[in-house]
Amino acid sequence: MILPSCSSDDDIQIVDSFDASINLKATYNGQPLVIGNTYTYENDLPIFFTQLKFYLSNIVLIQEDGQQVELAEVEVVNFTNVNGNEAMASQGLDLGFSSIPEGEYVAIEFGVGVAPDLNNTEPSDYSSSHPLGETADYWSAWDSYIFTKIEGKADPSQNGSFDLGFVYHIGSDQFYRSIKLSQAISISTENQDLPSIEIDFYKLLARSSTDFMDIETNSAVHNELDLMSYVMDNFENAVALQ
């Protein structure tokens, strides 16, 4: 596909554009995270995850001069099925984008959650195949999409019973977080590689062995504003270029 673009001296240049995708992997302490597999959390707590899902908004590539090229307005990243087995977990999932103009970029930026302008809309505004068309991910009591759902089970008695469920649902504008990852990204005939990104779900819940979400005392985060920011603030650290 060919896109016209204006250069500084007002000549019309013809710029090629390409399709490319970002690979996303869920990890736990650096290992590919498999839904249903048991991991050790702080306090030696055995846990496994049952649902891992979040929205990304305003995904853009940034040029050296600060100009932005939008890759997508909003996408939903759902590891719940993708991570069903080891092979799928190490493969991760791909978010595909089309018509990315040829060029040299210095960073990728996105928001975790649904950007405030989009968060003013509701699932009934979309078809059900649209990322924002899913009624399961909209919480009317907040007037907001559920930006992230992290669910799983823990086994405090360590006898295999896994009788403690944990459910972290977070949403509403104040919890929207922007993340910028710097890396030289070149889009050209020779090269259409976008970065691969890892999201470490241990780091999403824990900052260090002394500063972490206590799953046993806070097994549900839904209206607890401080804990909601705690998790959303952690995205910055949990997300890394591979």
Partner 1 sequence: MSKSSFFKAIFFSVLIGISACMDDEMQPPVLASGTDLTAISYTPQDYDLQIPAGFPQMEIPSDNPLTVDGVQLGHFLFFDPILSADSTMSCASCHLPEAGFTDNQAVSTGVAGIAGKRSSMSLLNIGFFNKGLFWDGRVATLEEQALLPIEDPIELHEDWPNVVSKFQNSPFYQEWFRKAFGIENSDEITKELAVKAIAQYERTLISANSKFDKIFYQNDPSVIIEDDEYNGYIMFFDDAYAGAFVEAECGHCHNMPLFTTNDYFNNGIDSVSTYEDFADVGLGAVTGAQLDIGKFRAPSLRNIEFTAPYMHDGRFETLEEVMDHYNSGGHNFINTDPLIKEIGLSEVQKQDIIAFLKMLSDTTYLSNPHFQNPF
Site for partner 1 in 182-221 (CB under 8 A): 219-220
Among the listed ranges 53-61, 106-114, 146-154, 190-198, the one in contact with partner 1 (CB under 8 A) is 146-154
- For 61, counting Cβ atoms within 10 Å of its Cβ (0-12 exposed, 13-18 middle, 19+ buried), the class is buried
d(C-alpha 198, C-alpha 242), whole Å:
6
Closest separation in Å from C-beta 87 to partner 1:
14
Going by C-alpha positions, the residue among 31, 33, 4 that lies closest to residue 17 is 4
Closest separation in Å from C-beta 228 to partner 1:
13
d(C-alpha 100, C-alpha 1), whole Å:
9
Among the listed ranges 25-33, 69-77, 105-113, 130-138, the one in contact with partner 1 (CB under 8 A) is 130-138
Go through 22-45 and write b for each residue having 16 or more CB atoms within 10 A of its CB, e for each that does not. Answer: bbbbbbbeeebbbbebebebbeeb
Going by C-alpha positions, the residue among 52, 8, 73, 16 that lies closest to residue 192 is 16
Site for partner 1 in 68-87 (CB under 8 A): 84
* Cβ nearer to partner 1, comparing 16 with 173: 173
Per rule CB under 8 A, is residue 174 in the interface with partner 1? no
Closest separation in Å from C-beta 124 to partner 1:
6
Contact with partner 1 (CB under 8 A) among 131, 152, 171, 195: 152
Among the listed ranges 107-115, 137-145, 184-192, 205-213, the one in contact with partner 1 (CB under 8 A) is 137-145
* Cβ nearer to partner 1, comparing 55 with 110: 55
* Cβ nearer to partner 1, comparing 124 with 209: 124
Closest separation in Å from C-beta 50 to partner 1:
6
Going by C-alpha positions, the residue among 44, 62, 30 that lies closest to residue 180 is 62
| Coil/strand/helix, residue 82 | helix
Q: How many residues bind partner 1 (CB under 8 A)?
A: 32
Contact with partner 1 (CB under 8 A) among 13, 165, 180, 241: 165
Contact with partner 1 (CB under 8 A) among 16, 94, 102, 151: 151
Contacts of 222 (CB under 8 A, 6+ apart): 167, 168, 169
- End-to-end alpha carbon distance in the chain: 29
83's tokens? 């991570």
Interacting residues with partner 1 (CB under 8 A): 35-36, 50, 84, 122-124, 126-129, 133, 135-136, 138-141, 151-153, 161-163, 165-167, 169, 219-220, 222-223
